[in-house]
Amino acid sequence: MTSCVLFDLDGTFADTAPDLHIALNHLLSSHGRSGIDYADFRPSVSHGSKAMLKVGFGIEPDDPDFLPLQRQFLDLYQQDIAIHTRLFTGMDTLIEQLETKSIPWGIVTNKPTYLTDPLMQQLGLQNRASAIVSGDTTAFAKPHPEPILHACRLVKAEPSHSIYVGDAQRDIEAGRKAGARTLIARFGYLSVEDNPAEWQADGEINHPLDILAWL
């Protein structure tokens, strides 16, 4: 029996890419650069600000301009963090059904707490999630298993009786190392370069409600 269901945030639980895309294009414009198309930007979102800045500026973290650009980008995003962000279609129904079944659910993300908590609050879900574990909640971030193990401890669930859903290889790796069952959210921010068949997940889903079959 499933004891809990845990979700990656960006690209699995919520469609955050539109607001991140707007923030990056504002940053590009402020530096005299042209904006990038949404289709070119979307696959980078699950890989964090480093990947998004690489798409926009062609810059790596060891570049001396990287940290100032990262700070500016995240400041812009924080100011308008949930203007266009929505739960993926069907996710609201899914969490209602989980709650009806008394199955706790939570978020395990590499997004920092100062961005995760306001986003969950604006989505009206901060108090409904049984666990919210951000990238800086523990000493480690995914693909390390500790964030998922920490979430399981918070909800008093055995990892082996838990499901972790994500849309990036690091998500599946973290879930597998934690001993949880893992599902790939194919509706998330996968790129053409991704090869989910190599990630050794327990399954794939095309819609949030597909998770119900795994309970």
- Cα dihedral across residues 50, 56, 60, 63: positive or negative: negative
C-alpha count within 13 angstroms, C-beta hemisphere, residue 74: 15
Mean predicted lDDT score pLDDT of the chain: 97
Unique residue bearing structure tokens 């997940």: 201
Tokens of 111: 């997004």
Using CA atoms, how far residue 24 sits from 27, 46, 88, in Å, is 5, 15, 22
**pLDDT tens column, 155-185:** 999 999 999 999 999 999 999 999 999 999 9
Q: How far apart are the C-alpha atoms of 214 and 183, rounded to whole Å?
A: 9
Q: How far apart are the C-alpha atoms of 87 and 98, rounded to whole Å?
A: 15
Clarify whether 19 is annotated catalytic.
Answer: no
pLDDT score at 83:
98
**pLDDT tens column, 1-57:** 899 999 999 999 999 999 999 999 999 999 999 999 999 999 999 899 999 999 999
Give SS3 for 18.
Answer: helix
Quick one: DSSP state of residue 88? P
Residue 151: which H helix or E strand, with range?
Answer: helix 146-154
Clarify whether 10 is annotated catalytic.
Answer: yes
Check 10, 167, 171, 210 and give the catalytic one: 10
Check 8, 167, 171, 210 and give the catalytic one: 8
Give yes or no for a contact between 199 and 173, defined as CB atoms under 8 angstroms apart: yes
pLDDT score at 1:
83
Q: How far apart are the C-alpha atoms of 169 and 185, rounded to whole Å?
A: 11
**pLDDT tens column, 76-134:** 999 999 999 999 999 999 999 999 999 999 999 999 999 999 999 999 999 999 999 99
Q: How far apart are the C-alpha atoms of 180 and 67, rounded to whole Å?
A: 35
Q: How far apart are the C-alpha atoms of 126 and 82, rounded to whole Å?
A: 14
**pLDDT tens column, 58-76:** 999 999 999 999 999 999 9
